[in-house]
């Protein structure tokens, strides 16, 4: 099929099956950059939400004098809401009941029942569905949105098994040759996974068409991840890429994966729990999907695969989960986003009370400049005293104690957060 040399305004810019590879590369990189630029503000919000979930305050925001407590009430709300969502999904079996098209058709009823049992078995035993759903639902609570990817996974690996090996030996008494069998270790290849596969995608590694509001009406979506160079070569050898190994070795230079590249931010680095080391042998993979085409671009420099969408339904193999959907927006609203200002107010109120108590215990004084007073004596201590020449030389600065009504403010704030999130401890 003839390749297009250039695109006209009326051409489909993502008709990759009929385009020159250079044009494909340019379009994928442009779409990635457009999406990344559009989603940066959302990534920053997700970072703030994650820090609040972990009750983390950046060092530059810590006060040198005064209390710096972070009250983990948002964590409490998320971890109360999340189990309720899990229970609502998994408390009743079957998880996904299949029904026959015609209730009077016994054949269809049997097939529907068998499909229900098969899907439930796959979810529990193969896909580890409950563990994946835990990640998805927690992400939905925290950020308002979660992205899951549903594909088919075939995995093989070499294993060593004991097998019967036929042989012969000579009987020393009769001199006759007899056949014998013995158990010997034998290396073989075994299929370890051949079933649907589901995974939770980090929001910072999923990019979508800025004009799309859901997976289906997006012109494209991109899943970014990293693979070691030897796995890229293995994919080419196994036919998972449509370029040869020599082209990869010649044209592709592993760029490494630094902490700043692991999504919009690296979580452990964001809360000062350590920065992951850079792996210089890894390759950035942009897995680009439309309803018609799957494309893989390596390190934004080499197109590794262009193929028709392999799924019969011709849809992108991703699902979007939302806590509170917003009309006309791709991302939903999460619990932390709704409550973050109230969390800041809660922290501020508690720290102000602690500061007030600290000021009351560690009193301050006004001293005349001409007074002959040893300032080291001003430290509060049992049976302490301050030597003065005249009692007018020094006066205590009066600190007004916190009113009792301020202690009810924290209860009001927590009640506001409960009302906003719809999560109450007593339920």
The pLDDT score that the predictor gives to residue 1 is 42
Is it the case that residue 399 has pLDDT exceeding 70?
no
Q: What is the pLDDT of residues 284-307, one digit of tens each?
A: 999 999 999 999 999 999 999 999
Query: In Å, how far are 32, 292, 305, 353 from 23, measured between CA atoms?
Result: 14, 17, 14, 62
Q: What is the DSSP string of 390-403?
A: SGGGEEEPP-PPPP
Q: Is 198 in contact with 217 (CB distance < 8 Å)?
A: no
The pLDDT score that the predictor gives to residue 193 is 82
Q: What is the pLDDT of residues 8-27, one digit of tens each?
A: 767 788 999 999 999 999 99
Q: What is the pLDDT of residues 297-340, one digit of tens each?
A: 999 999 999 999 999 889 999 999 999 999 999 999 999 999 99
Chain mean pLDDT for the chain: 85
% residues pLDDT > 90 (the chain): 43
Please give the average per-residue pLDDT across 135-145, as a whole number.
94
Per-residue confidence at 407, pLDDT binned at 50, 70, 90? low
Q: Is 320 in contact with 145 (CB distance < 8 Å)?
A: yes
8-state DSSP, 169: E
Is it the case that residue 426 has pLDDT exceeding 60?
no
Is it the case that residue 103 has pLDDT exceeding 80?
no
The pLDDT score that the predictor gives to residue 310 is 92
Please give the average per-residue pLDDT across 187-214, as a whole number.
90
Dist CA 279 CA 256 (whole Å): 5
Highest mean pLDDT among 136-140, 154-158, 274-278: 136-140
The single residue listed with the structure tokens 């594909």 is 151
Which residues does 39 contact at the CB level (< 8 Å), separation at least 6?
Answer: 207, 208, 210, 264
Please give the average per-residue pLDDT across 113-131, as a whole number.
84
Q: Is 387 in contact with 373 (CB distance < 8 Å)?
A: yes
In a 13 Å sphere around the CA of 418, the CA atoms on its Cβ side amount to: 10
The pLDDT score that the predictor gives to residue 261 is 56
Q: What is the DSSP string of 290-306?
A: -SSEEEEEETTTEEEEE
Q: What is the pLDDT of residues 141-191, one digit of tens each?
A: 999 999 999 998 888 888 888 877 777 777 777 767 767 777 788 888 888
Tokens for 242, please give them: 């449509």
Q: Is 4 exposed, middle or buried (0-12, 13-18, 19+ CB in 10 A)?
A: middle
Q: Is 414 in contact with 347 (CB distance < 8 Å)?
A: no
Residue (of 226, 284, 286) closest to 252 by Cα position = 284
The pLDDT score that the predictor gives to residue 398 is 66
The pLDDT score that the predictor gives to residue 2 is 44
Q: What is the pLDDT of residues 78-97, one digit of tens each?
A: 998 888 888 888 888 888 88
Q: Is 372 exposed, middle or buried (0-12, 13-18, 19+ CB in 10 A)?
A: exposed
Residue (of 227, 1, 422, 25) closest to 13 by Cα position = 25
């Amino acid at each position: 099929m003839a390749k297009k040399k250039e695109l006209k305004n009326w051409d489909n810019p993502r008709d990759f099956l009929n385009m020159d590879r250079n044009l494909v590369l340019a379009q994928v990189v442009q779409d990635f950059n457009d999406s990344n630029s559009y989603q940066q503000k959302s990534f920053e919000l997700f970072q703030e939400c994650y820090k609040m979930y972990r009750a983390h305050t950046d060092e530059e925001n810590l006060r040198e004098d005064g209390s710096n407590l972070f009250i983990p009430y948002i964590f409490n709300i998320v971890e109360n809401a999340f189990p309720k969502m899990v229970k609502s999904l998994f408390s009743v079996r079957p998880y996904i009941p299949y029904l026959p098209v015609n209730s009077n058709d016994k054949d269809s009823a049997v097939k529907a029942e068998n499909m229900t049992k098969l899907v439930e078995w796959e979810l529990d035993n193969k896909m580890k569905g409950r563990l994946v759903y835990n990640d998805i639902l927690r992400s939905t609570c925290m950020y308002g949105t979660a992205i899951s990817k549903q594909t088919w996974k075939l995995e093989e690996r070499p294993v060593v098994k004991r097998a019967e090996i036929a042989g012969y030996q000579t009987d020393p008494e009769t001199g006759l040759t007899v056949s014998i069998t013995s158990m010997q270790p034998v290396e073989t290849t075994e299929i370890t996974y051949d079933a649907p596969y589901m995974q939770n995608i980090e929001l910072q590694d999923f990019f979508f068409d800025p004009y799309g509001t859901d997976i289906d009406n997006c012109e494209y979506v991109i899943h970014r991840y990293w693979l070691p160079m030897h796995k890229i070569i293995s994919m080419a050898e196994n036919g998972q890429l449509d370029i040869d190994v020599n082209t990869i070795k010649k044209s592709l230079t592993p760029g490494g994966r630094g902490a700043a590249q692991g999504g919009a931010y690296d979580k452990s680095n964001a809360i000062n729990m350590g920065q992951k080391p850079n792996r210089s042998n890894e390759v950035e993979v942009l897995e680009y999907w439309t309803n018609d085409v799957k494309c893989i671009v390596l390190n934004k420099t080499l197109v590794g695969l262009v193929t028709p969408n392999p799924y019969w339904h011709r849809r992108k193999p991703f699902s979007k989960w939302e806590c509170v959907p917003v009309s006309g927006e791709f991302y939903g609203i999460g619990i932390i986003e709704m409550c973050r200002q109230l969390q800041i107010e809660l922290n501020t109120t508690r720290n102000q009370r602690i500061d007030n108590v600290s000021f009351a215990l560690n009193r301050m004084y006004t001293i005349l400049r001409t007074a002959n007073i040893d300032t080291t004596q001003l430290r509060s201590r049992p049976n302490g005293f301050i030597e003065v020449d005249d009692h007018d030389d020094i006066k205590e600065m009066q600190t007004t104690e916190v009113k009792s009504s301020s202690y009810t403010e924290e209860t009001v704030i927590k009640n506001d957060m409960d009302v906003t999130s719809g999560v109450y401890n007593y339920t």
